[in-house]
Amino acid sequence: MTLVRVEARARITCRRVANQSAERVFELIAAHSAAHAPAGVTTDVARNRGRDVPFAHGSHATGLAAQVLTEAYGPALYRTRLGGSIPVSTTLLQPLGRHAVMFCFSPDDENLHAPCEFFRLDVFRKGQTAYGRM
């Protein structure tokens, strides 16, 4: 006797670019899933209701972070806007408003979150110092 599952599940995570609508991305994924389902298969797509957390560019907090990181790493800082999915961010921002900042101290060649990521101990120590000074 052959057993066939009557249900299958998948989890899709998306990294969005600045000003990209989470709702629109969700709608497109749901439509694509429905359009490509085999005959007789129905799809049900549920969205995680996490909220976007925009940090204020040019705020006192970002200026302070730049100062601290310059002290730790030297003057060759590169500022960029990145996205992330850190659920605690929304909890932290509720009392702080937009006067919060997060910073990363992992050089690009360490391949953050990649299967081959690594972390240099000297970078880790500088990061500890930077967080302490912040």
CA dihedral 15, 85, 66, 99 (to 10 degrees): 120
Residues of the domain holding 64: 60-133
Residue 64 has pLDDT above 80, yes or no: yes
Inside any domain, residue 10: no
By percentage, how much of the chain surpasses pLDDT 70? 85
pLDDT of residue 124: 87
Span 5-54, pLDDT tens digits = 788 888 887 877 777 888 899 999 999 999 999 998 889 888 876 666 66
Inside any domain, residue 77: yes
Inside any domain, residue 46: no
CB under 8 A, 24+ apart: contacts of 72-76: 72/105, 72/126, 72/127, 72/129, 72/130, 72/133, 73/105, 73/126, 73/130
Distance CA 14, CA 22 (A): 9
pLDDT of residue 73: 81
Inside any domain, residue 22: no
Domain count, the chain: 1
* pTM of the predicted model as reported, rounded to 2 decimal places: 0.56
Span 86-118, pLDDT tens digits = 767 777 777 776 667 777 777 778 887 788 888
